């Protein structure tokens, strides 16, 4: 029996019941709401929550607004969020990912794909918190290259000594690239390594996160020198030795 609690915010009763039925069949503890304010009002009693499943088109405050509130709350800002949407435009995905959504599921969807996304998010979230619970006196665990420093014990990133704010997924993607600097990864490989599932249909999600990362860590995101595009392959974090002078010019 899986004791992880998943909170569903979806105003379409048929979709909400379908999601809840399948999650409960997988052994998850679920709580279902038809709008954001009702869920937020009940939030103190819902904790601890392992995952939020949040529809965008909700009555009252929409899913983007509810997502902002979750990410501004220190009790919930580290909990993964899976967005449900009938919209497929890149603009909507960029908006949600920028606010802090961890993944998107576009309607209509197959239940097996949906459950794969849920399980992948929970695996990554669970591993992170198990590791944190094992640290009684956090050591300084750092990795980086050049101007980028990742303090993994404290989940913080610094560029040229200044802290930058990243979403959970941006952080994990940057850390993976830095730890494997010089290696070019395809979008599918990054999805599998960072998102935790192999689903080639959503490789655009990787592109969105790369763009957001470049805006935060590059001097000029239109001419990146840290996160490189490898034509015909994907992306890599540079291992060149001559670029630091370029950042200081």
109/174 Cα distance (integer angstroms):
29
114/100 Cα distance (integer angstroms):
19
Q: What's the order of all strands across the beta sheet hosting 5-9?
A: 29-33, 5-9, 51-55, 81-85, 103-106
246/69 Cα distance (integer angstroms):
39
pLDDT of residue 19: 93
pLDDT of residue 154: 80
Whether cis (ω within 30° of 0) applies to the bond prior to 108 is yes
Structural domains of the chain ordered from first start:
5-133 (3.40.50.2300), 142-247 (1.10.10.10)
Q: Residue 136: what are its φ and ψ, rounded to 5°?
A: -80, -40
Which residue bears the tokens 């009002």?
41
What is the residue-level pLDDT of the chain in tens, covering all 249 positions?
A: 457 899 999 999 999 999 999 999 888 999 999 999 999 999 999 999 999 999 999 999 999 999 999 999 988 988 999 999 876 666 777 788 788 888 888 888 888 889 988 988 888 766 444 344 343 334 445 676 778 888 887 888 988 888 898 888 899 999 999 989 899 999 988 988 888 765 555 667 888 899 999 999 998 888 999 999 999 899 999 987 665 444 443
pLDDT of residue 142: 64
Q: pLDDT (tens digit, 9 = 90+) per residue, 75-120?
A: 898 899 999 987 666 677 778 878 888 888 888 888 888 998 898 8
pLDDT of residue 169: 86
Nearest to 227 by CA among 173, 156, 188: 173
pLDDT of residue 240: 74
Whether cis (ω within 30° of 0) applies to the bond prior to 48 is yes
pLDDT of residue 131: 42
Quote the pTM value.
Answer: 0.62
pLDDT of residue 199: 54
pLDDT of residue 34: 95
SS3 81: strand
Alpha helices (runs of H) in the chain, residue ranges in sequence order:
13-25, 36-46, 63-71, 90-99, 111-133, 168-179, 187-190, 204-217, 244-247
């Amino acid at each position: 029996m899986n004791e992880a609690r998943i909170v569903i915010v979806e105003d379409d009763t048929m979709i909400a019941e379908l999601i809840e039925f399948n999650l409960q069949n997988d052994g998850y503890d679920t709580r279902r709401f038809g709008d954001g304010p009702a869920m937020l009002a009940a939030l103190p009693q819902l904790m601890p929550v392992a995952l939020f499943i949040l529809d965008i088109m909700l009555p009252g405050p929409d899913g983007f607004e509810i997502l902002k509130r979750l990410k501004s709350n220190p009790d919930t800002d580290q909990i993964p969020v899976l967005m449900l949407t009938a919209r497929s435009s890149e603009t909507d995905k960029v908006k949600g990912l920028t606010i802090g959504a961890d993944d998107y599921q576009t309607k209509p969807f197959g239940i097996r794909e949906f459950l794969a996304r849920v399980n992948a998010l929970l695996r990554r979230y669970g591993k992170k918190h198990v590791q944190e619970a094992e640290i009684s006196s956090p050591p300084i665990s750092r990795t980086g290259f050049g101007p980028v420093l990742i303090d993994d014990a404290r989940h913080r990133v610094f560029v040229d000594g200044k802290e930058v704010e990243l979403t959970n997924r941006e952080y994990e993607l940057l850390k993976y690239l830095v730890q494997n600097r010089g290696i070019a990864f395809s979008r599918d490989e990054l999805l599998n390594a960072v998102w935790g599932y192999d689903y080639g249909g959503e490789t655009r999600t990787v592109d969105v996160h790369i763009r957001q990362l470049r805006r935060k860590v590059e001097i000029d995101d239109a001419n990146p020198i840290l996160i490189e595009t490898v034509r015909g392959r994907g992306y890599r974090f540079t291992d060149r030795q001559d670029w630091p002078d370029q950042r200081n010019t």
